[in-house]
Structure 1
Amino acid sequence: MKKAVTAKKSSATKTEGASPSKLIDGRIRELGDWRGEMLARVRGLIKQADPDVVEEWKWRGVPVWEHDGIICTGETYKEVVKLTFAKGAALADPTGLFNSSLEGNVRRAIDIREGETINEKALKTLIRAAVELNASRKKPTKR
């Protein structure tokens, strides 16, 4: 007779009734290490760069920031916090923040490792550029 095995769900993946912002708060608390601190830091920078940003929770537990479309996602892995910009290949990156997913035609990512700092001014500029790009591609509403 086989015994049923159930996977333990993390508190951040229990989505019933919780707002995306609360779920992101939960993920940050749940991580409880440098990754949580970094995710909280970049989240704050995103909100500073675009006060009208909308937080979402997609794909079974990925924080997503949107404004007229996806700006970026904030994934956490064992070794990195990864900010993936949905249309990153179309964004100018004069300071070289993008250091991952460089081979694709659409996305670009920033991998942040423990102990690394991020150029806050350059990240905010990149966020604003992503918002502008999304707004420029927004379909006009029908009357």
Structure 2
Amino acid sequence: MTYVKDPRVDAYIDELPAWQQQICREVRDLVHAADPAVTETVKRRVRPYFELDGNICALLAAKTHVNIFLYDGAIVPDPDHIITGGQDNKTARTVAVYEGETLNKRALTAMLKQIIANNRAGGWRTIKKDRGQD
């Protein structure tokens, strides 16, 4: 798959241990595969973000895992229970992937596609408002 890469995202990933590089590259490929119009950037000095009509997700490598922050306003279903944190967060939830774990690509891809669809429909804030939530 080819897509426009932000060299700052490459630099972030290249500095990580090999197992974290692999996870970040897998997520990066999945986000771009979810929709070819996705763009990537760096915010908050070094954190990779993926956007399309709003934030989709961000990556943050921690000492023992990689956090994938999903900007979904907690409205995207998680039938496979891949969300590991932020269940009560009104903006983003996280999927933590630890060394040796396999990324649930199918479930993550479904969530990414739903976040993109929600962004195109005005974003999760608009959707929640239209539903009478929060």
TM-score, normalising length: structure 2: 0.83
Pick which of 33-42 and 61-70 moved more.
Answer: 33-42
**1:31 partner letter:** L
8 Å contact kept, 1:20–1:57: no
Gaps in structure 2 of 5+ consecutive residues: 127-134
Could you say what the CA RMSD is over the residues aligned between the two structures, in angstroms? 1.8
Which of 26, 31, 37 is matched with 2:11 structurally?
26
State the one-letter code of the partner of 1:56: T
Of the two, which has the highest radius of gyration?
1
Residue identity matched to 2:85: S
- Tell me what 2:90 maps to: 105
The 3-state SS of whatever aligns with 1:31 is coil
Structure 1 residue ranges, 4+ long, deviating more than 6 angstroms after superposition: none
CA contact (8 A) 2:73 2:89 kept: no
1:62 aligned partner, one-letter code? R
Structure 1 position 37, deviation (Å)? 1.4
1:95 equivalent to 2:109? Answer no
CA offset at residue 20 of structure 1?
6.7
Aligned-residue offset at 1:103: 2.2
Percent identical pairs in the alignment equals: 30
1:32 Cα deviation from its structure 2 partner: 3.6
Corresponding residue for residue 72 of structure 1: 57
Shift of 1:88: 4.4
- Which structure 1 residue ranges, 5 or more long, are not aligned? 1-18
State the partner residue of 1:124: 109
Picking from 37, 41, 54, the partner of 2:22 is 37
